[in-house]
Chain A
Amino acid sequence: MLKKLGGEAPVSFGRQPSSPSPGGDVSRRSFLTMIGWGSTSVFFAGVLGSLARFMWPNVTFEPSTTFKAGLAEQIKDGMTFIENKKVFIWREGGAYWAISAICTHLGCTVRWIPEANQYQCPCHGSIFGPEGKVLGGPAPRPLEWLELGLSADGQLVIDTEKKVDAGKKTKL
């Protein structure tokens, strides 16, 4: 342990102010030291911040989340699975609805098992009812229902980013 010498400032080189500055007890030396370290810290924080920001892409070349799923009238009754978009399209006469196949647990693709009348996830065994309700397994939320519309040329249009309330069937 260093012994304090009667409350005096620690020994340092260079000129010392003969009396404390009028504004308070911050000496010129420690003020300049603070300015020096402060500006150096700001500089490096800026550098690190820019480097971190660089890692966040502004533009990605991912496929559009909106897609056309074929002529609405040609969609068969029951379930149609759009594999590359991971969407189940259901039709019951004039009523259409779309359910996302992305498991709400950790993002695997669920399968429709007609014999069991339920969706099952191959990764961790989550089970969902035909309306997407969680019946078992670790899934925290029901499967998402997706917005479904009709294009000018009579095709079903689905956006995998736009969710709708569960049970909202579209009459076309």
Chain B
Amino acid sequence: MSKLKELMSALANSQFGRALFRHGWPDNPKDQALLLTNDFSMHMFPVKTKRHGVRFWYTWCMGGIALSCFIALTLTGIMLMFYYVPSTARAYQDMIDLRYVVTFGRFIRNLHRWAAHAMVFTVFMHMCRVFITGSYKPPREMNWVVGIVLLLATTLLSYTGYLLPWDQLAYWGVQVGTKLAGYVPGIGKDVSWVLLGGKNIDQNALLRFYVLHTVVLPAVLTFFIGVHFYRIRKDGGISGPL
């Protein structure tokens, strides 16, 4: 047993070990406390939190669930990208193959689909909670605006993902959506032209929606999630009860 302890202590005190455990192997209460409070994740999470902040009925945990949905969507989305080809000839068949041919394909695809629905719902409920608890008030106005950007990015992700199955629902949904964009005075026609990469919903449109859905919008969302969490700490942690 002492041999094992020696080995652990030697490992923890090696150069590699010191990089992980900056205070040495945590074998006493002080180092164990330091291990927690100096943890890398504490750059994001506060070391201390207010008692009411962990009460479920204060936050409904909606922001956290929305983030969990986004992580699940990223992971399942990467899985789906291994089988899905964004071409008009293959897209629909690849989606069908994911459901009926690929092992666990239906599970992964449905996880992606339901997490997407859940994310839109939880982001909306999160905003309701922030509104009801008055958490948008100073000094948190900026984070409310960042939240609006996150809502917008979530909605656009949901909309761009809608076209990718390339079925009737997708086609007509996007037909209606881009025609709606076309009604914007002045720039409407340009917006729908650049979204579709042409006049019709065709290969260009599918590829554009795919790139927006898998690269551009997730990058924007990830960046603003970072700003959002940073602002929570800068604004003094979670808001207080009314």
A57 & B176 in contact (Cβ 8 Å cutoff):
no
A123 & B172 in contact (Cβ 8 Å cutoff):
yes
A45 within 8 A of partner (CB): no
A107 & B197 in contact (Cβ 8 Å cutoff):
no
Q: Which B-chain residue is minimally distant from A122 (CB atoms)?
A: B172
Residues of B within 8 A of A56 (CB): 190, 193-194
Instruction: Given A60-B199, A60-B204, check contact A107 B176 (CB 8 Å).
Output: yes
B194 & A60 in contact (Cβ 8 Å cutoff):
no
* Nearest-Cβ distance from residue B158 to partner chain A, whole angstroms: 19
B172 & A108 in contact (Cβ 8 Å cutoff):
yes
Interface string of A59-72 (1 = CB under 8 A from B): 01110000000000
Instruction: Given A55-B194, A57-B197, A123-B172, check contact A62 B202 (CB 8 Å).
Output: yes
Residues of B within 8 A of A57 (CB): 197-198, 204
B175 within 8 A of partner (CB): yes
B222 within 8 A of partner (CB): no
Number of chain B residues close to chain A: CB under 8 A: 15
Residues of B within 8 A of A123 (CB): 172, 176
A108 & B176 in contact (Cβ 8 Å cutoff):
yes
Whole-angstrom distance between the alpha carbons of A107 and B200 in the complex? 11
Q: Tell me which residues from 43 to 90 in chain A have a Cβ below 8 Å from any Cβ of chain B.
A: 55-57, 60-62
B132 within 8 A of partner (CB): no
Interface residues on A, range: 10 to 19
B43 within 8 A of partner (CB): no
Instruction: Name A's interface SS.
Output: loop
Whole-angstrom distance between the alpha carbons of A11 and B96 in the complex? 70
Interface string of B99-138 (1 = CB under 8 A from A): 0000000000000000000000000000000000000000
* Nearest-Cβ distance from residue A172 to partner chain B, whole angstroms: 29
Find A107's partner among B179, B190, B198 (CB 8 Å cutoff).
B179
B11 within 8 A of partner (CB): no
Q: Tell me which residues from 81 to 132 in chain A have a Cβ below 8 Å from any Cβ of chain B.
A: 105-108, 123
The CB with the most chain B CB atoms within 10 A, among A55, A106, A123, is that of: A106
Whole-angstrom distance between the alpha carbons of A57 and B198 in the complex? 7
Whole-angstrom distance between the alpha carbons of A57 and B195 in the complex? 11
Whole-angstrom distance between the alpha carbons of A87 and B12 in the complex? 76
B42 within 8 A of partner (CB): no
A108 & B175 in contact (Cβ 8 Å cutoff):
yes
B180 within 8 A of partner (CB): yes
Whole-angstrom distance between the alpha carbons of A57 and B180 in the complex? 21
B199 & A106 in contact (Cβ 8 Å cutoff):
no
Residues of B within 8 A of A106 (CB): 175-176, 179-180
Interface string of B181-202 (1 = CB under 8 A from A): 0000000001001100111101
Q: Which A-chain residue is minimally distant from B175 (CB atoms)?
A: A107
Residues of A within 8 A of B197 (CB): 57, 60
* Nearest-Cβ distance from residue B117 to partner chain A, whole angstroms: 22
* Nearest-Cβ distance from residue B218 to partner chain A, whole angstroms: 19
A60 & B175 in contact (Cβ 8 Å cutoff):
no
Residues of A within 8 A of B202 (CB): 62
Residues of A within 8 A of B199 (CB): 60, 62
Q: Which B-chain residue is minimally distant from A59 (CB atoms)?
A: B198
Q: Tell me which residues from 13 to 65 in chain B have a Cβ below 8 Å from any Cβ of chain A.
A: none
Residues of B within 8 A of A62 (CB): 198-200, 202
Q: Tell me which residues from 193 to 236 in chain B have a Cβ below 8 Å from any Cβ of chain A.
A: 193-194, 197-200, 202-204
* Nearest-Cβ distance from residue B197 to partner chain A, whole angstroms: 5
* Nearest-Cβ distance from residue B52 to partner chain A, whole angstroms: 36
**14 A-B pairs (CB sep. < 8 Å):** A56-B190, A57-B198, A60-B204, A61-B203, A62-B198, A62-B199, A62-B200, A106-B175, A106-B180, A107-B175, A107-B179, A108-B172, A108-B175, A123-B176
Nearest 9 interchain pairs by C-beta: A60-B198, A106-B176, A107-B179, A106-B179, A107-B175, A55-B194, A57-B197, A62-B200, A62-B198
